[in-house]
Chain A
Amino acid sequence: MRELWRKLRYRLHREEFENDLVEEMRHHLAMSAAQRGGSDAASRQFGNMTLLREESRSMWTWTLWEQFLQDLRYGLRAMAANPLFTAIAALSLALGIGANTAIFSFMDAILLQTLSVKNPHELVIFHWRAKGSPGVIHSVHGSMFEDGAHGQTSPNFTYQAFLNLRQSPETLSTLFAYITAYRLNVIAEKQAEHAQGQWVSGGFYRGLGVTPAVGRLIDDNDDRTGAPPVAVLSWEYWNRRFNANPALVGQAILVNNQPFTVIGVSNPEFFGVNPGMHPQVYLPLHALPLLATRVDQNEQNYFFDPHFYWVEMMGRLQPGVSRKQAEVTLAAKFLQFAKSTAESAKEREEYPSLWLEDGAGGLDSLRREYSKPLLVLMGMVGLILMIACANIASLLLARTSARRREIAVRLSMGAARMRVIRQLLTESLLLSLIGGLAGLLVAAWGIRSLILLLSNGKEEFALHASLNFPVLLFTFGLAVITGTLFGLAPALQSTRVDLTSALKQVRANEPGTRARRFGLGQALVTAQIALSLLLVVGAGLFDRTVANLHAVNLGFNRENLLLFALDARQAGYKDAALGHFYGDLLTRFRQIPGVTSAGLSQFPLAAYYWNSTEIRIPGNSKSGSEVATSVVDPGFLPTMQIPILLGRGLEERDVTSPRVAVVTERFAKKFFDGKNPVGQRFGLDKDGPADIEIVGVARTSLYNSVKEKETPPVVYLPYTQDLKGLTRVYYELRVSGDPLALVPAVRRIVHEVGPNVPLAEVKTQAALMDETIGKERTFAQLCSGFAALALIIACVGLYGTMAYTVARRTSAIGIRMALGAMRGQIVWMVLREVLAVAAVGVAAGLAAAWGMSRFVESYLFGMKQHDPVVLTGAVLVLIAAAGVAGFAPAWRAARIDPLVALRHE
């Protein structure tokens, strides 16, 4: 102990010690020189001074350190000698650590991170909810979602409610409003490009505490009727598109063909209030009517209609006021407001009730969409980590037991017990460290591919997920602890061995202790098999889901179709000119070599688009029910290869006299009991005449998505029927060959005809539809990957354990063979053990799968959670895998030469 202290002191005063030594040696030399009459002779007599100093120094330094290096070298040598073991152990650790870190980093980004604004924990988001549909709300523009027992909930309010609630100084220090502007066409420097837009109230930036990086930000003075239109750019957009040009501030840009003056750029940390969307252009709310595409989008409706719910709000609580307190006050205030807008008994039946949500994390659209899938994924990777840890444990257990003899030799040669344990510990830690480092790579790679998987082709996906170090440390720590525990437990046991007996056992064969030790090893392998079964079942369920989704009868041909969207209204084309523009483009697209046919529609089929309206059919009992509409050109149905069953399809003449429609078979069945509806007339406006003539019946095809339970009755209308409502259209080009090869030609044509109209969502119909089942595909791919991984790890674990059993029982098997056992019997003997372990694991796994599959039920399509095919398949896969893993050791057992085996004793 005192020696350690002295050494520590040496550490601290190293220089002093060294100087002492040098001076002392010099003194010696001087004395010696004086006596011998020459410094040369003295030096010769003294020896190499540097070497001696070196020697002295090494005496003071740590032997522990030296030994650690020794252990490390030995550990590396042991690893190199057993590369399979090392690779498997490190790989399974790396995958466990990496997958968990990656998934959790996402959870962190989506569920836990706060907005990068001033004091985000003071922010609250406003919502209302109602069981039914309150009469005071005539229309909602925005989002609405099911809120469990509470009914519907929505974040959209009327502007009057915003003004009303803003006057709540006792609870709110500030209240501001915003609404997404979706995709804007921003024309600047003679280039037209799409950008994400956001409408904000004058108090938006001040309320969030966001500062400008350049110029100034939107304030109350910019957000009022008649104010000159201004725009603020995000830092990222300003840098990317405008090369951070400071001269841009003060200049005008065209937003949907309307001039807006850029007044500033927000600071680099600010990405908006929705973590899943990073708006690039911010415009004041009162500029909304400037970009109206419909007559009803006027100032009166937006800012004075007390029944039109559209604007979203966020507030900052006064210091010391809790969210619940504020909710009580503000809900009462909002109720009062809602009551004041009710004009009839029907409108007084139910009022929306206000509630506040914590706003620290920003808007929750991402959370709603991904929190459940992420939890399921988190569960899956958790299983992987467990399997990996069990694997490490069983491998280390088997290996350390196999090294009992080596340890006994070391002990008998005089190695201290601590020294041996330390060495084993170093080896486990080394292994964990390698696994952890590889895990870091896996995590980084995993995050990248997860972003790709989750974003799923969406252009505006803007999630920031970075490596989460606390999680990395946690999983790494877990791996280290597992490694240490299972590396050390057998080590402790081994070092207590009775040396003589351990040395004598050339191949340990102790039937007495076998059962107990093997209990742990086998339990670990059983657990691995059970966990693997869970993952295999999951993979089976998701794979079948995707297969089912792909097998859905679409009613159209989704292959070889190129899709893209254009919005020429945003570039200044209006009504008739817009119709001509779209029609001319279509004619030119049809002339591209390789295009066999082309059509356009308001939105693509089976891509989550939906437009429905009430139909009026004079004299029809079902008049007034909802029908889905699709606005198309005459080329659309032939291009999609949807056949006309009765009458005719839309033709070019319908473009000029458009009061006609083609309906689907489902429509005919619903409204005309399957009788021929051709020649019948209907109306889609509340007040207009029922003058739309049905000219044909098309075969029913998917409308909203491959997951739709019931395809609605659809009417196909010529796009020229409602020119005022015509905005964005999608073009569908049927192509011979690779659809994407035609993109440059399409771009060139669009640029020639309308240089200010940017192309959007360029992709194939197949890719678009795959996106709609992206979650299922992601799950299927990830889960299949995870299952394969788990299976491999478990099989390796099983193989390792069995190989070790066989090695231990070499002599027993030798005796059996000497006594006349056949090879087949020996193989069966070993395999039986493997299958017993597998059977127990499978049974446990099945029970767990039965209980846990309800968590994924909502992601399944076209089958039940306890799908017998999947369950049987999974069991068979596992038994087969176990058999394969067990066969190699069994075969080796059967090839044991009885003479060799017995000579070992």
Chain B
Amino acid sequence: MLVLKTLARLGEMHGYGIAQHIQQNSNDVLQVEEGSLYPALQRMLIKGWVVAEWRQSDSNRRARFYRLTADGRKQLAAEVKEFDRVMSAIVRVIHPA
């Protein structure tokens, strides 16, 4: 979900950029093994949520840029909705009104 959200916000980004973005935006709270990002991206490729393309990056290196597909946006919407539902439930349990 985080990857999808990142791509939704940035449009197109390569793996390293996505990892950086997630780390920075979560104020370094969400620090995962950066490598595990790649199997996740592969899964999204299989599912057809993202497509990838080789291009020159800003630093003039060849990098693989990922972009969300329509399916990906749909999936993101579904996941965000589900997340909100679970989140609000958790919030209600922890902070009863």
Mark A residues whose CB is within 8 Å of B: 2-3, 6-7, 20-21, 23-25, 27-28, 30-32, 45-49, 52, 55-56, 59-60
CA A69 to CA B14, docked complex, whole Å: 37
Among B35, B48, B52, B61, contact of A49 (Cβ-Cβ < 8 Å): B35
Q: Is the CB of B48 within 8 A of A3?
A: yes
- Minimum distance in angstroms from B18 CB to a CB of chain A: 10
CA A837 to CA B33, docked complex, whole Å: 70
Q: Which of B4-12, B38-46, B79-87 has 4 or more CB atoms under 8 Å from chain A?
A: B38-46
- Minimum distance in angstroms from B74 CB to a CB of chain A: 14
In the assembled complex, 21 residue pairs joining A and B whose CB atoms fall closer than 8 Å, in A order, are A3-B48, A7-B46, A20-B64, A24-B14, A25-B35, A25-B38, A27-B16, A27-B63, A28-B14, A28-B19, A31-B16, A32-B16, A45-B34, A46-B34, A46-B35, A47-B33, A52-B36, A56-B42, A59-B43, A59-B46, A60-B46
Q: When A and B form their complex, which 6 residue pairs have the shortest distance between CB atoms, in order from nearest?
A: A47-B35, A47-B33, A56-B42, A55-B39, A28-B16, A46-B35
Q: Assuming the A-B contacts A27-B16, A52-B39, are A32 and B34 also in contact, with contact meaning beta carbons closer than 8 angstroms in the complex?
A: yes
CA A2 to CA B49, docked complex, whole Å: 12
Contacts of A25 in B (CB 8 A): 15, 35, 38
Contacts of B16 in A (CB 8 A): 27-28, 31-32
Additional 19 contacts, C-beta under 8 A, given A28-B16, A31-B16, A60-B42: A3-B48, A7-B46, A20-B64, A21-B42, A24-B63, A25-B15, A27-B15, A27-B62, A28-B38, A32-B34, A46-B35, A47-B35, A49-B35, A52-B38, A52-B39, A56-B38, A56-B39, A59-B39, A59-B42
Within 8 A of A (CB), among B12-71: 14-16, 19, 33-36, 38-39, 42-43, 45-48, 52, 54, 57, 59, 61-64
Closest residue of chain A to B38 (Cβ to Cβ) is A52
Q: How many A-B residue pairs have CB under 8 A?
A: 68
Contacts of A23 in B (CB 8 A): 62, 64
CA A24 to CA B19, docked complex, whole Å: 13
CA A27 to CA B35, docked complex, whole Å: 12
- Minimum distance in angstroms from A329 CB to a CB of chain B: 76
Q: Assuming the A-B contacts A45-B33, A52-B35, A59-B43, are A30 and B61 also in contact, with contact meaning beta carbons closer than 8 angstroms in the complex?
A: yes
Q: Assuming the A-B contacts A7-B46, A31-B16, A46-B33, are A24 and B61 also in contact, with contact meaning beta carbons closer than 8 angstroms in the complex?
A: no
- Minimum distance in angstroms from B35 CB to a CB of chain A: 4
Q: Assuming the A-B contacts A24-B15, A27-B63, A55-B39, are A2 and B34 also in contact, with contact meaning beta carbons closer than 8 angstroms in the complex?
A: no
Q: Is the CB of A27 within 8 A of B34?
A: no
Question: Is chain A's interface secondary structure helix, strand, loop, or mixed overall?
Answer: helix
Closest residue of chain A to B44 (Cβ to Cβ) is A59
Contacts of B63 in A (CB 8 A): 24, 27
CA A60 to CA B39, docked complex, whole Å: 10
CA A614 to CA B96, docked complex, whole Å: 127
Contacts of A20 in B (CB 8 A): 52, 54, 64
Question: Is chain B's interface secondary structure helix, strand, loop, or mixed overall?
Answer: helix
Contacts of A60 in B (CB 8 A): 42, 46
Q: Is the CB of B46 within 8 A of A3?
A: yes
Closest residue of chain A to B15 (Cβ to Cβ) is A28
CA A32 to CA B14, docked complex, whole Å: 13
Closest residue of chain B to A45 (Cβ to Cβ) is B34
CA A712 to CA B77, docked complex, whole Å: 106
CA A27 to CA B16, docked complex, whole Å: 8
Contacts of B52 in A (CB 8 A): 20
CA A28 to CA B38, docked complex, whole Å: 10
Q: Is the CB of A28 within 8 A of B62?
A: no
Contacts of A21 in B (CB 8 A): 38, 42
Q: Is the CB of B36 within 8 A of A47?
A: yes
Contacts of B46 in A (CB 8 A): 3, 6-7, 59-60
CA A21 to CA B19, docked complex, whole Å: 16
CA A46 to CA B35, docked complex, whole Å: 5
Contacts of A49 in B (CB 8 A): 35
Closest residue of chain B to A2 (Cβ to Cβ) is B48
| Residue of B14, B16, B33, B48 contacting most chain A CB atoms (<10 Å) | B16
Q: Is the CB of B64 within 8 A of A48?
A: no
CA A24 to CA B63, docked complex, whole Å: 6
CA A641 to CA B27, docked complex, whole Å: 117
Contacts of A47 in B (CB 8 A): 33-36
CA A49 to CA B15, docked complex, whole Å: 14
CA A52 to CA B35, docked complex, whole Å: 7
Contacts of B43 in A (CB 8 A): 59
Contacts of B33 in A (CB 8 A): 45-47
Contacts of B19 in A (CB 8 A): 28
- Minimum distance in angstroms from B55 CB to a CB of chain A: 11
Q: Is the CB of A6 within 8 A of B38?
A: no
CA A582 to CA B96, docked complex, whole Å: 123
Contacts of B36 in A (CB 8 A): 47, 52
- Minimum distance in angstroms from B12 CB to a CB of chain A: 14
- Minimum distance in angstroms from B4 CB to a CB of chain A: 17
Contacts of A32 in B (CB 8 A): 16, 34
Contacts of B38 in A (CB 8 A): 21, 24-25, 28, 52, 56
Closest residue of chain A to B33 (Cβ to Cβ) is A47
Contacts of B42 in A (CB 8 A): 21, 56, 59-60
Closest residue of chain A to B35 (Cβ to Cβ) is A47
Contacts of B35 in A (CB 8 A): 25, 46-49, 52
Q: Assuming the A-B contacts A47-B33, A48-B35, A60-B42, are A27 and B64 also in contact, with contact meaning beta carbons closer than 8 angstroms in the complex?
A: yes
Closest residue of chain B to A7 (Cβ to Cβ) is B46
- Minimum distance in angstroms from B73 CB to a CB of chain A: 16
CA A32 to CA B57, docked complex, whole Å: 14
- Minimum distance in angstroms from A23 CB to a CB of chain B: 7
Q: Is the CB of B39 within 8 A of A27?
A: no
- Minimum distance in angstroms from B26 CB to a CB of chain A: 15
- Minimum distance in angstroms from A34 CB to a CB of chain B: 8
Contacts of A24 in B (CB 8 A): 14-15, 38, 63-64
Contacts of B54 in A (CB 8 A): 20
- Minimum distance in angstroms from B25 CB to a CB of chain A: 17
- Minimum distance in angstroms from A40 CB to a CB of chain B: 14
CA A21 to CA B52, docked complex, whole Å: 11
Q: Is the CB of A27 within 8 A of B61?
A: yes
Closest residue of chain A to B43 (Cβ to Cβ) is A59
Contacts of A28 in B (CB 8 A): 14-16, 19, 34, 38
Contacts of A3 in B (CB 8 A): 46-48
Contacts of A45 in B (CB 8 A): 33-34
- Minimum distance in angstroms from B8 CB to a CB of chain A: 20
